[in-house]
């Protein structure tokens, strides 16, 4: 099969012929229907520092963890429950299924598990990919592969908003209008926030959030972001999300928040940062960090999509096929106004 392979860290991906994946006893093989490009992959494809707090990519890896597709092969022990032709999305890991983490739906912490985009578990920037049957979630007929590929980023947003302990009527500020910021805006709306203000240095990015749940956007070029945010939100924000993840962005969230506010850090900052703890201390802020999701979040998102309760169409700005994929991936490393770019076969 063909796949977009990392040949060398920091170099563009290359389309290569690699062996088709084979199912283990409890695995499924999917023909990939859609796979979104994730900012994490952009970061990881360039990271050469083993001290960033997360893993490094190996040459030969295939990335892509936001996907959906059709089952074309079923491992022997998965046969009672799965059939060729089933349409699924899947978690980006295969866990042991037995340990405490796996039982809690958090197999990314499983000591015996494998995570996607490793040599052991290639991702879905490819024609086919292997998933664990336990980690697969069936898509209702009404949910397209494209929507199925959005389940993962939607689950990231859901997990972040859960950590914010949002209450109906809340005043929210979201810093950063990338795909994560947009899904956070969507869930804040879903759970009844009254004011959802979005700030991004690229004005068109911030404006896109209005189609996904934001109620107002900050004009960063006009300066004094905290005053604008407080004005647009009807008061200083009680919940602030850092969906940027660059050195300094957490400090901004601290500076913009009201006393006793909730701050949730979702952006993946790949460098050391410096902040002023007393500014958070005197406000008695509650700061939490949100990483991925639990298996039940995937199931919730799939269920809501199936019922037509989430309008996610504005999340996807572009689609590419596999041949054009490496160029599209490289282009996203430069400033852009794209939201989610989807790998989709025609
Ligand atoms: Zn992702
Ligand atoms: Zn486990």
pLDDT at 52: 67
- What is the distance in A from the centroid of ligand 1 to the CA of 139? 19
266, 174 contact by CB (below 8 A): no
State pTM to two decimals: 0.95
Whether the pLDDT of residue 150 is over 70: the answer is yes
One domain, residues 183 and 257:
yes
pLDDT in tens, 1-10: 999 999 998 8
Residue 336 has, within 13 A of its CA and on its CB side, a CA count of 16
Residue % of the chain over a pLDDT of 90? 85
- What is the distance in A from the centroid of ligand 2 to the CA of 80? 22
Q: What is the C-alpha to C-alpha distance for residues 304 and 206, in angstroms, rounded to an integer? A: 25
For position 113, which CATH number holds?
3.90.180.10
pLDDT at 40: 84
Whether the pLDDT of residue 53 is over 60: the answer is no
pLDDT at 62: 96
Give the closest ligand to the alpha carbon of residue 117. Answer: 1
pLDDT at 336: 84
Whether the pLDDT of residue 55 is over 80: the answer is no
What domain count does the chain have? 2
Tell whether 276 is covered by a domain: yes
Tell whether 100 is covered by a domain: yes
One domain, residues 6 and 142:
yes
- What is the distance in A from the centroid of ligand 2 to the CA of 189? 34
One domain, residues 121 and 194:
no
pLDDT at 9: 87
Give the closest ligand to the alpha carbon of residue 135. Answer: 2
Q: What is the C-alpha to C-alpha distance for residues 176 and 67, in angstroms, rounded to an integer? A: 24
Tell whether 305 is covered by a domain: no
Tell whether 101 is covered by a domain: yes
- What is the distance in A from the centroid of ligand 1 to the CA of 160? 13
One domain, residues 106 and 190:
no
- What is the distance in A from the centroid of ligand 2 to the CA of 102? 4
88, 131 contact by CB (below 8 A): yes
- What is the distance in A from the centroid of ligand 1 to the CA of 152? 6
pLDDT in tens, 270-279: 888 999 999 9
The mean pLDDT of 278-300, rounded to a whole number, is 97
Give the closest ligand to the alpha carbon of residue 95. Answer: 2
Give the closest ligand to the alpha carbon of residue 40. Answer: 1
For position 165, which CATH number holds?
3.40.50.720
Going by pLDDT thresholds of 50, 70 and 90, the confidence category of residue 45 is confident
The mean pLDDT of 59-72, rounded to a whole number, is 96
pLDDT at 54: 63
Q: What is the C-alpha to C-alpha distance for residues 22 and 124, in angstroms, rounded to an integer? A: 14
> What is the extent of the structural domain holding 96?
2-150+312-344
- What is the distance in A from the centroid of ligand 1 to the CA of 153? 6
């Amino acid at each position: 099969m063909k796949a977009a392979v990392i040949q060398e860290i920091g170099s563009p991906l290359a389309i290569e012929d690699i062996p088709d994946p084979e199912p283990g006893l409890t695995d499924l093989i999917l023909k990939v229907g859609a796979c979104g490009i994730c900012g994490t992959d952009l970061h990881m494809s360039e990271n050469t520092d083993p001290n960033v707090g997360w893993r490094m990519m190996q040459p030969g890896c295939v990335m892509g963890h936001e996907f959906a597709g059709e089952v074309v092969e079923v491992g022997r022990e998965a046969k009672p429950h799965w059939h060729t032709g089933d349409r699924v999305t899947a978690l980006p890991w295969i866990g042991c299924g037995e340990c405490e983490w796996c039982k809690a739906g958090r197999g990314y912490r499983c000591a015996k598990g494998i995570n996607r985009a490793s040599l052991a578990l290639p991702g879905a920037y490819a024609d086919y990919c292997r998933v664990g049957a336990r980690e697969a979630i069936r898509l209702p007929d009404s949910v397209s592969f494209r929507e199925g590929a959005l389940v993962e980023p939607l689950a990231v947003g859901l997990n972040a908003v859960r950590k914010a302990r949002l209450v109906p009527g809340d005043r929210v500020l979201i810093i950063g209008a990338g795909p994560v910021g947009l899904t956070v805006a969507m869930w804040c709306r879903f759970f009844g926030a009254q004011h959802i203000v979005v700030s991004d240095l690229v004005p068109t990015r911030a404006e896109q959030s209005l189609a996904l749940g934001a109620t107002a956007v900050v004009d960063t070029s006009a300066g004094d972001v905290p005053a604008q945010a407080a004005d647009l939100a009807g008061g200083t924000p009680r919940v602030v999300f850092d969906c940027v993840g660059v050195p300094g962005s957490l400090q901004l969230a601290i500076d913009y928040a009201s006393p006793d506010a909730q701050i949730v850090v979702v952006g993946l900052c790949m460098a050391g940062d410096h902040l002023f703890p007393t500014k958070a201390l005197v406000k008695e802020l509650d700061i939490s960090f949100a990483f991925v999701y639990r298996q039940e979040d995937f199931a919730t998102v799939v269920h809501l999509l199936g019922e037509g309760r989430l309008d996610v169409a504005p999340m996807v700005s572009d689609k590419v096929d596999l041949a054009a994929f490496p160029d599209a991936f490289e282009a996203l490393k430069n400033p852009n106004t794209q939201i989610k770019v989807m790998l989709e076969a025609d």
